Structure 1
């Protein structure tokens, strides 16, 4: 007969092993809908923690379960979870080396020497740090101004958040555009990133734009351009150096960032950072991902006002990949190979076109990452991405 504590341990080990392997499975399983996409995004990013959870459930099963068959089943389940999480952990140093090579190929083998020592001193020392994973990436002190109205088109107030270094001075301007399928979001998104970059010596402008379906393209691009004009007019007030302006966007925001920077009449912009942004809307409509948790075609119809068959020209002028007929700012592209909203093949396509047109570009891909991986700020993918993003930006504002 088993005592009640032993029965409790057996059930605990079994439930823990099933729970940990269920969460770990979303590292490799494609999410079929938006609800499960949250697990698909988060699971790879917390894989070190899931690895420990699977290891604990394995040890608990081995020492806490006396029935041989139940013990064997629970151990097998936990081992599966360990192998899945282990794939990410083993891939971290390999991916980091690939990213380092990509940066050198795109910017030059000695690009780090072009970054001032004062800027290097503020950067993360390691591409991935377990202490930061468990304890959080230190953000540092900043000054923050909120809800600054920069325009009221058609009576709609558009606002921005401004993050500044703790000390007064004159700093490079970093314009940040949020994602959300052009339908949702606000400038308060990704506040940790904005605070981090401000502490590292940037005046960060997180800007707003009007949303579909009420407002369709090119309204969003017009709003971004209006925000850039406002920043240029008020640069002194916010301690921003207009000669060192860079622009960064995520998903739909990355799409708008590229469009704004690639216009022939765009204001001087030193560099563009594209986190998993759509670049070829025509092809994206014709060949959506599978599975397609966001319903890509419906999103594009909402944004542009119809299908690609109905509005081919609109899809063409809304695609950043079609604006490479003239020199554009150096561009950093970051995509996850497991992205089921904007597939990484589009990022590679954009990268090749940028190089073919004689522009400077860097492409970083993350084998395990889903769309919006940087939502987990201290996660595995964002640590690697942040490490190289701040180096790319420091290079861009220092050496052109």
Structure 2
């Protein structure tokens, strides 16, 4: 036994320096910035590695005529680099806990002309993460319609900043106040002990809209004219909020058999869920769910939602396709859009939703964008995403605005 123990000890000693070197240092890549520069403190060693736990300050400086869009770090992800970007700051502290890239992205000053930004307005804190939204108000805005944007990310990632390209583009047009919202993530990704459900996310969206409506005039907006849009997971959530206002109530979601109601995460003081049902139903005038999910079908999808044991009624209660109001009772015009090369959202799925809308007498326009893939309305601090946004997003944002204009003014 002593011999075996000695051999084990010698083996451990012989490999421990290599193991330590592998696990206690991480490689950091610096993305070469354009139209500005960055510095790292402490300076990146020649071997490109920092010790685990090192706190690195990344500082960005823009060239003349440019401003900082975001300072960021990124890690490899399922769909390419996963960016953790912080807009509107000149420096960012990054804790070294794995291999990653760091950098900064710069944009022309003119991109921020024509509107004022009010960031990080907290509307609720039902769990660990404060829920917030950013408001983009055109200069001298008074009683403008309000566009609410809901971000995507598989219901489990991203925040409102990923939609800042769309928000800025709309606000620069001068005709809409824009509010870009965040919400809880499915599961425990936010740090909540109790997993968040899809019903929780929908309640967050209703709560954000209620808060925006309550403070609309402070932002130069008209609380009686709200439009919704969102991409991917946000496409589902925007369609849900537009079609399910009749489900707002305090009866609970599935707590009583056959009752599936949403109590908004934020309810203004002195009001009830019933009040919000009436107010949001009358205020929401149209929706543009982009490359979204409208029905939840199949074992894999239900497993992702944590709803493998859910009955059909519960699944239907989170699915826009099963909650479309009849146009004679509530008109809810839809602008649907999808890239023809989208690997996640099929034409069949969007067409099924379009047909269901038509059956209910709703106005609907479905646009397919030739050659576009998924998420072309997103904005990330890298050239490929921005190039895609400029190629497809800018044009179809203008088309979406024309659709909303026709809903409100014709």
TM-score (norm 2): 0.58
After superposition, what is the alpha-carbon deviation per residue over 1:182-218, rounded to whole angstroms, capped at 9, x for unaligned? 1011111121210111121211111111111131120
Partner of 2:292: 277
Task: Identify the match of residue 382 of structure 1 among 377, 393, 400.
Answer: 393
Partner of 1:62: none
More displaced stretch, 229-238 vs 248-257: 229-238
1:197 and 1:387, CA in 2 relative to 1: closer, same or farther beyond 3 A? closer
Partner of 1:329: 332
Partner of 1:347: 350
Partner of 2:304: 302
The answer on 1:208 being equivalent to 2:211 is no
Size of the aligned set, in residue pairs, is 256
For residue 190 of structure 1, give the secondary structure of its aligned residue in structure 2.
Answer: helix
1:160 and 1:35, CA in 2 relative to 1: closer, same or farther beyond 3 A? closer
Would you say the 8 A contact 1:254–1:278 is kept in 2? Answer: yes
| Aligned positions of 1:171-182 closer than 5 A | 171-182=144-155
Query: Residues of 2 paired with 1:260 and 1:143: CA distance?
Result: 27
Would you say the 8 A contact 1:140–1:196 is kept in 2? Answer: no
Partner of 1:239: 220
Query: Residues of 2 paired with 1:381 and 1:216: CA distance?
Result: 33
1:139 and 1:393, CA in 2 relative to 1: closer, same or farther beyond 3 A? farther
1:380 and 1:182, CA in 2 relative to 1: closer, same or farther beyond 3 A? same
Deviation at 1:138, TM superposition (A): 5.5
For residue 209 of structure 1, give the secondary structure of its aligned residue in structure 2.
Answer: coil
Query: Residues of 2 paired with 1:315 and 1:227: CA distance?
Result: 23
Deviation at 1:345, TM superposition (A): 1.5
1:348 and 1:140, CA in 2 relative to 1: closer, same or farther beyond 3 A? farther
Query: Residues of 2 paired with 1:232 and 1:246: CA distance?
Result: 11
Deviation at 1:278, TM superposition (A): 0.2
Would you say the 8 A contact 2:141–2:221 is kept in 1? Answer: no
For residue 270 of structure 1, give the secondary structure of its aligned residue in structure 2.
Answer: strand
Query: Residues of 2 paired with 1:300 and 1:341: CA distance?
Result: 16
For residue 162 of structure 1, give the secondary structure of its aligned residue in structure 2.
Answer: strand
Partner of 1:169: 142
Task: Identify the match of residue 240 of structure 2 among 252, 259, 265.
Answer: 259
For residue 373 of structure 1, give the secondary structure of its aligned residue in structure 2.
Answer: coil
Deviation at 1:383, TM superposition (A): 3.7
| Aligned positions of 1:5-24 closer than 5 A | none
Would you say the 8 A contact 2:141–2:220 is kept in 1? Answer: yes
For residue 324 of structure 1, give the secondary structure of its aligned residue in structure 2.
Answer: coil
Query: Residues of 2 paired with 1:36 and 1:226: CA distance?
Result: 31
1:243 and 1:338, CA in 2 relative to 1: closer, same or farther beyond 3 A? same
1:344 and 1:235, CA in 2 relative to 1: closer, same or farther beyond 3 A? same
Query: Residues of 1 paired with 2:221 and 2:295: CA distance?
Result: 32
1:139 and 1:275, CA in 2 relative to 1: closer, same or farther beyond 3 A? farther
Query: Residues of 2 paired with 1:300 and 1:257: CA distance?
Result: 20
Would you say the 8 A contact 2:343–2:373 is kept in 1? Answer: yes
Deviation at 1:236, TM superposition (A): 1.6
Would you say the 8 A contact 1:173–1:202 is kept in 2? Answer: yes
Query: Residues of 1 paired with 2:225 and 2:318: CA distance?
Result: 26
1:237 and 1:35, CA in 2 relative to 1: closer, same or farther beyond 3 A? closer
The answer on 1:362 being equivalent to 2:400 is no
Partner of 1:398: 409
| Aligned positions of 1:110-189 closer than 5 A | 140-154=113-127, 156-189=129-162
> Greater share of helix residues, 1 or 2?
1
| Aligned positions of 1:53-64 closer than 5 A | none
Partner of 2:263: none
Would you say the 8 A contact 1:139–1:192 is kept in 2? Answer: no
TM-score (norm 1): 0.59
For residue 246 of structure 1, give the secondary structure of its aligned residue in structure 2.
Answer: strand
Query: Residues of 2 paired with 1:313 and 1:340: CA distance?
Result: 29
> Greater share of strand residues, 1 or 2?
2
Task: Identify the match of residue 166 of structure 2 among 189, 193, 208.
Answer: 193
Would you say the 8 A contact 1:213–1:302 is kept in 2? Answer: no
